[in-house]
Amino acid sequence: MAEMKDESEDYLAPHYINRSNWLRAAVLGANDGILSTASIAIGVAAASDMREPVVLATLAGLVAGALSMAAGEYVSVSSQTDVEKADIEREIQELHDMPEIELQRLAEIYQKRGLKKETALTVAQELTQHDALGAHIRDELGINEISQAKPVQAAFASGAAFTVGGLLPFLVTIFLPLQSLEYSLYGFALVFLIILGALAARTGGSSIGKAILRITFWGTVAMGLTALVGYLFNVNVG
């Protein structure tokens, strides 16, 4: 009996898609935090023989990046929210002006999904009687509680994740030896990215191996190009 109860709880557990909004913002923020601050630190370290410029540049990049990520995410998702609200307002007007056409449109949607014409019309009529606007928002516009834009949630998740991700390479610039700082930053950043990729994949229910490969490859490219810029300019920052 207890085993059947456990199986039932697992079966009824929320799907991974419920985590998509905050998980996307958090992974993007943490990934950008690690890469941006590590890349800045590597680039400055490659052109400097002193620790202070590296630490200062990394801290500035951390603060500016976190604020930029949060603000950018909020503005971006707010724009999506504005579009959703405009479509909902238009749908309210259409339901008021031409309810029969809207009913037929809803029935056609269900028919395209596989219902017979008569069944589709019956379903559309019953849903319209129950909650006409809700049915059209969900099935015609494709907006639901999972996909609906949440600007504050996205901004907080992105900004906080960037801060956490950026703090890791920032600590490396403070405590590790200056002589091999570029290599230390690269190595630790890769470790941080691997951990992030594994956690994100596990949380989202996707392949851990693919996530790690993807995030480490592009991380290596970003940090390598930034280090190359520091070496090419050959400027001594001090």
Per-residue pLDDT of 46-62, as tens digits, reads 878 889 999 999 999 99
- Residue 11 confidence (pLDDT): 46
- Residue 238 confidence (pLDDT): 46
Across the range 6-31, mean pLDDT stands at 59
Per-residue pLDDT for 132 more than 60?
A: yes
Q: What is the mean pLDDT of the chain?
A: 81
Of 45, 50, 73, 78, the residue nearest 61 (C-alpha): 45
Across the range 1-30, mean pLDDT stands at 56
144 in Cβ contact with 138 (< 8 Å): yes
Q: What is the DSSP secondary-structure string of 69-138?
A: HHHHHHHHHHHHHHHHHHHHHHHHHHHHH-HHHHHHHHHHHHHHTT--HHHHHHHHHHHHHHHHHHHHHH
- Residue 236 confidence (pLDDT): 47
- Residue 149 confidence (pLDDT): 64
CA distance 232 to 212: 30
Per-residue pLDDT for 233 more than 80?
A: no
Q: pTM for this one?
A: 0.68
Q: Which pLDDT tens digit goes with each residue over 167-215? A: 999 999 999 998 888 889 989 998 998 888 887 777 766 778 888 888 8
Per-residue pLDDT for 237 more than 50?
A: no
Residue 23 token pair: 């998980």
Report, in angstroms and rounded to the nearest whole number, the Rg of the chain calculated over CA atoms: 25
CB burial readout 48-80, b (16+ within 10 A) else e:
beeeebbbebbbebbeebbebbbeebbebbbee
CA distance 82 to 90: 12
